[in-house]
Structure 1
Amino acid sequence: MSLVDELVPSRYAVQVGDVDVMVISDGVLPITASTLATNVPPADLSAWLKDMYLPPEVTDWPLNVAVVRSGDKTILVDSGLGTEFPGFPRAGQLAARLDAAGVDAASVTDVVLTHLHMDHIGGLLVDGLRGRLRTDLRVHVAAAEAEFWEAPDFSRTVMPAPIPEVLRSTAARFLDVYRGRLHTFESDVEVAPGVVVRRTGGHTPGHSIVRVESGDDALTFAGDAVFQPGFENPSWQNGFEHDPEESTRVRLALLKELAATGEQLVATHLPFPSLCHVAEAGNAYRFVPSVWDY
């Protein structure tokens, strides 16, 4: 069966005013469930996993990227895992799924990277995609992010043993390959009409989110600022967060903002297509899935 005819869809398009946004699944990768909440008793996490009908030891982590078309720009937001990690055979689908969605890699004018973890940059290192990108491609990343990965600090993360070194080596290779195409920014940058990238920090020092606004509509791609447990339990710390306390502050501020504005949210590791609204629920929040338009 071709990707065009796949039974489970891997792309979902939404209109934000005059801006086209397409969420594309890069697949899923298995993750040790304990990394979802490293600062709470295991029994609390086990109860949450059970309530969500998720397995107790290893759970699948969705990988969402986005293609945004605004004006004469076609912007790829993150690039998924890539294909060089044999332990994650169901991830790294971006190149094929761009083709299936009718998105020509050569049409991409800009790439925005929320941060330089391997599941956000690996797709750009795949020969089947890298060789098709235009020579004048602009890759936008926060200056603090590029600087951090020159000598990354994992002292406050709680990751499975092999992961930090793989993150380090993948980021180093990415910077070596794409350094000449990097366009760094300090706090925020508008990459196309209505498409603004804003550094939040927290998850990594240069972690950034992308806000799309046009007319009366708005949507935020939050990268790794919000994980699945983070609505009901925004103070739960994820093992991949390089500054857990700042990550919590960023998450709470973002959820509060989105609950107030009512705009849609997309995040990398929420269930595909991850489009949702945020609602207040006492001292926490609720994930409210957007109704699919079809």
Structure 2
Amino acid sequence: MSVDNITHLGGTGIDELVPSRYALTVGDIEVLVISDGVLPITASTMATNAEPAAYSAWLKEMFLPPEILDWPLNVAVVRSAGKTILIDSGLGTEFPDFPRAGQLGLRLAAAGIDPASVTDVVLTHLHMDHIGGLLVDGLRNKLRPDLRVHVAAAEAEFWESPDFSRTVMPAPIPDVLRRTATAFLDLYRGQLRAFDEEYEVAPGVLLRRTGGHTPGHSIVRIESRGEALTFAGDAVFQPGFEQPGWQNGFEHDPEESARVRVRLLGELAASGEQLVATHLPFPSVCHVAAAGNAFRVVPAVWDY
């Protein structure tokens, strides 16, 4: 994988009317953000503690519908020092109610990336829209047998007996999340490389456990030659810039999630580093600016 090959595929990939990938470099490290599609969710799930009138006004200002939202799903492929690292794997194809998500296999092919070239997988957490792609036979059976799968030890432990008491999800979702995480752990337990707080999976690619969203939720910071980008997983959602205290229904510890969000956005605003997050509109590459007691998102200029 190289940025040149990705950006100028010619006839080697799948022709797409709308490109599903965005390539950039962070110093000497290559990063490719890939859209896994979009997932419909109940709008209220994205701000469960917001005052209804304030949230309705925010949705209207953002030109978003009041009932059902299309939630973007972004993953990334990173290449550093000979390692090819997949960050999260999207939803997979086991959920027929969500036909516009679970596109990772097709979109790796469109980018000219052979799944067998992936040496490591990093999982921000074990929710189904982050691990489902690894459960799809069409992708799983193409992965190398010595694949290393990195996840926080606290995350793997949590899903042995998960607690949903503080989440606010549609009724069927907890059972689906539990079942999917169990299937994933059963399949990949022998390939898991658990870490406690931090782990450098390749030069300049550092995993850091934040907790909050789930006990083992982690982010990935990519740094090379004075440039940096953070893949924030589910630490940041679309309302979280202007309203970092609004809680998402999928957060297992909502108060800690808000603290993690404020701390992370504050760090990024101070440093000027780039941000990518799973559920920000594709390609989600942006900067963060401080705005009083909150923040604002500054989208990156696409580089053609």
Residue among 230, 234, 237 paired with 1:220:
230
Q: What are the ranges of 5 or more consecutive residues in structure 2 without an aligned counterpart?
A: 1-11
Q: Is 1:136–2:149 an aligned residue pair?
A: no
The number of residue pairs the alignment matches comes to: 293
Q: Is 1:16–2:18 an aligned residue pair?
A: no
Name the residue aligned to 2:160: 150
Deviations 1:126-162 (A, max 9, x none): 0010000000000000000000000000000000000
Deviates more, 1:3-12 or 1:67-76: 3-12
Kindly report which structure 2 residues correspond to 1:2-13, keeping only aligned pairs within 5 A, or say none. 4-13=14-23
Name the residue aligned to 1:120: 130
Shift of 1:55: 0.6
Aligned mates of 1:5, 1:103 — CA distance in 2: 14
Name the residue aligned to 2:243: 233
Name the residue aligned to 2:73: 63
Shift of 1:3: 7.5
Shift of 1:172: 0.3
Shift of 1:282: 0.8
- The one-letter amino acid paired with 1:29 is L
For residues 70 and 115 of structure 1, do their structure 2 counterparts lie closer, same or farther at Cα, with a shift above 3 Å needed? same
- The one-letter amino acid paired with 1:129 is L
With structure 2 as the length reference, what TM-score do the two structures score?
Answer: 0.95
Are 1:197 and 1:208, in contact at CA under 8 Å, matched by a contact in 2?
Answer: yes
The DSSP-based 3-state class of the residue aligned with 1:145 is: helix
Q: Is 1:107–2:110 an aligned residue pair?
A: no
Name the residue aligned to 1:187: 197
Aligned mates of 2:184, 2:294 — CA distance in 1: 37
Shift of 1:46: 1.0
Q: Is 1:33–2:10 an aligned residue pair?
A: no
Shift of 1:6: 1.6
Deviates more, 1:197-206 or 1:45-54: 45-54
Deviates more, 1:33-42 or 1:145-154: 33-42
The DSSP-based 3-state class of the residue aligned with 1:206 is: coil
Q: Is 1:168–2:193 an aligned residue pair?
A: no
Q: State the identity %.
A: 80
Note the aligned Cα RMSD (angstroms).
Answer: 0.9
Are 1:73 and 1:109, in contact at CA under 8 Å, matched by a contact in 2?
Answer: yes
With structure 1 as the length reference, what TM-score do the two structures score?
Answer: 0.99
Name the residue aligned to 2:3: none
